[in-house]
Amino acid sequence: MKEDSLPASRFQRNKRCIIWSTVISLCALALILGLAIGLTRKSQSSPSENDALQNFPEQFILSGNNFTITSQPTTRYYEFNITQRNGSPDGFERTMLVVNNQFPGPLIECNIGDRIVVKVNNQLPDGQGTSIHWHGMFQTNTTWMDGTVGVTQCPIPPGESFTYNYTITEQRGTYWWHSHAKGQYTDGIVGPLIVHDPNEGFMNDYDEDIVVMISDWYHELSPISLAQYANADNTEGAEPVPENGLINGLNLFDCNGSTNSSIPCTGGTQANFTFVPGKRYRIRLINTGAFAEFDFSIDGHKLTVVEADGVAMKPVAIDRVPIQVAQRYSLIVEANQTVGNYWMRAIINQNCLAYTNDALNPVVLAAVHYEGANGTIPNSPDPGYSDPVDCVDLDPSDLKPVDGMDAPPYDVSYYIEASFQAIREDRIRYGYMNTTSWSPLQNTSTLQQANAGVTTFDTNTQFVLTPPDNATVVQLIIQNFDDGSHPFHLHGHTFWLLGTGAGYYASNTNLNTTNPVRRDTGTVPAFGYAIIRFIPHPGMWLFHCHLVWHHLMGLAMQIQYQPSVIRSFDVPQDWKNLCPS
């Protein structure tokens, strides 16, 4: 610069000297602080193998830690350290993959309009790339932040980091986050994501707000379970059956039922909740499991459904809520019973399992303790529930969105067949959407390709549906040729569920277009059909069965909307760098 070439006066030299020494001392200070922070981080994030896995029940009580519900947006920063370690959520020790040594993983609690920044540090062993998907987030104009390996990104390699950064607009309610690399979430990379909105509409209908995550639980790592499933000898396609179920990451396990006595087994503990008599609780129920459908109830209490998958519903009081993998419900429960202790029951519907696992006790319990009651162990009588015959959603006619919207007519409709077939040389049964069985692209993603101008994809593994640019409403008719039901999830959208049923969809099939339920995960019944409509927005969106074993065997396809807009997306360089090619 010209200024630098001028002879400096002594004052200027002195000034430079002062500036330089200030810069140097600031740098030194920053270095020391950095080291100190780094060391504390390190001591928090890499405990010795013997440190117990953390379960923080406090984090499931929302609006704690002075959290303020407001329409004033802010930016919230998180750091996720993903490691492989041993853990025993139900007292049975196994290898797990976890975030920040916590299971379930850390709560993300925010307000509508907030920007969420999450630095993910992959500290997994070699060969285990990872990603985090924000289930149900629209990712408007940030499709590359959707966190889906092979679709919207390449995996974050071990030893490396990636920072997700997106803004939550136009949505509120109950969501979750999970790894979207292989079957990793089944091994522990899951947590709740709650979006508050002062204008949600029913904030005055409850006093306390709590998260209840329920999930099935396997005693083997997911690649081992998958190997049993993806096997030519498994001609019936029997999915792995879990050993247990968990409520907020806890349950008992009968160690006598364990087949390997050399594995440490202490039997675990049950989750428990405290009710203050007369108070009303909003329970945010999330099925974060791999395969099992649950029926949820609290002895002696009515559950009033007010939200499904982030959409506010007209209140309906029921005794028992069936919940499929990846779905969410908000249930308002009033502590209006005799002061006492009651069981919360999450019962695995065994009619949806391929076989009975002797180790599995399908009745997963947690204690609800009324303040002032004697003791803490419930003695409420068993209501004697039996498993529903069908593995389907809570009756959609019970779910009427408060913000009523009729399903608009579609501009384009696609007919899609979902099936499992053993037609390859290896005789393994793969999942197909029409004639394509999905598996993630290696070293690239469909979004990376689309952003670079690629218009055709490898149809052996990628079924990418591209509606016309001017189609504002898209309809999908999914016909299921499988004897199992499939909770299908569409990334980045909520859809209208116009109808589901047994048998074949036909042109005279009755569709409900009058304010039908809107959600992001809906079940296509066994040998049945479902019809959905949605308003697409630009991006690459996975549409898949959320049952982990089905998804991993290929029951997935993609919706690409407005490729020219995708090409024009100014994607961040660090995102591009995740893909080596």
Residues that bind ligand C2O (CB under 6 A): 133, 135, 148, 178, 180, 326, 489, 491, 542, 544, 546
Nearest to ligand C2O of 190, 303 (CB atom): 190
Q: Which residue is nearest to ligand C2O (CB)?
A: 135
Contact 147, 164 (CB under 8 A): yes
- CA-to-CA dists, residue 187 to 181, 230, 352, angstroms: 11, 18, 21
Nearest to ligand C2O of 60, 134 (CB atom): 134
Residue 8, Cβ neighbours under 10 Å: how many?
12
Least Å from the CB of residue 296 to ligand C2O: 19
DSSP-derived letter for residue 580 is -
Six token digits for residue 58 = 């406090």
- The CA-based angle 321-534-328, given to 5 degrees, is 20
Nearest to ligand C2O of 353, 556 (CB atom): 556
Least Å from the CB of residue 544 to ligand C2O: 6
In the three-class reduction of DSSP (H, G, I as helix; E, B as strand; rest coil), residue 295 is classed as strand
Least Å from the CB of residue 44 to ligand C2O: 28
Six token digits for residue 19 = 């500036």
Residue 273, classified by CB atoms within 10 Å of its CB into exposed (0-12), middle (13-18) or buried (19+), is: buried
**Strand 108-111 relative to strand 190-196: parallel, antiparallel, unpaired?**
parallel
- CA-to-CA dists, residue 351 to 241, 354, 388, 483, angstroms: 12, 8, 7, 12
- CA-to-CA dists, residue 60 to 194, 247, 494, angstroms: 10, 11, 25
Q: What is the DSSP code string of 75-129?
A: EEEEEEEEEEEEE-TTSB-EEEEEETTBSS---EEEETT-EEEEEEEE-PPTT--
Nearest to ligand C2O of 281, 495 (CB atom): 495
Nearest to ligand C2O of 178, 486 (CB atom): 178
Least Å from the CB of residue 177 to ligand C2O: 9
Least Å from the CB of residue 134 to ligand C2O: 9
Least Å from the CB of residue 178 to ligand C2O: 6
Nearest to ligand C2O of 180, 429 (CB atom): 180
Find the radius of gyration of the CA atoms of the chain: 25
Distance from C-alpha of 385 to C-alpha of 197, rounded to nearest angstrom = 36
Least Å from the CB of residue 445 to ligand C2O: 14
Nearest to ligand C2O of 518, 544 (CB atom): 544
Nearest to ligand C2O of 94, 546 (CB atom): 546
Distance from C-alpha of 505 to C-alpha of 528, rounded to nearest angstrom = 8
Residue 93, Cβ neighbours under 10 Å: how many?
16
Least Å from the CB of residue 150 to ligand C2O: 11
Least Å from the CB of residue 238 to ligand C2O: 23
Nearest to ligand C2O of 118, 368 (CB atom): 118
Least Å from the CB of residue 381 to ligand C2O: 36
Distance from C-alpha of 330 to C-alpha of 333, rounded to nearest angstrom = 10
Nearest to ligand C2O of 370, 543 (CB atom): 543
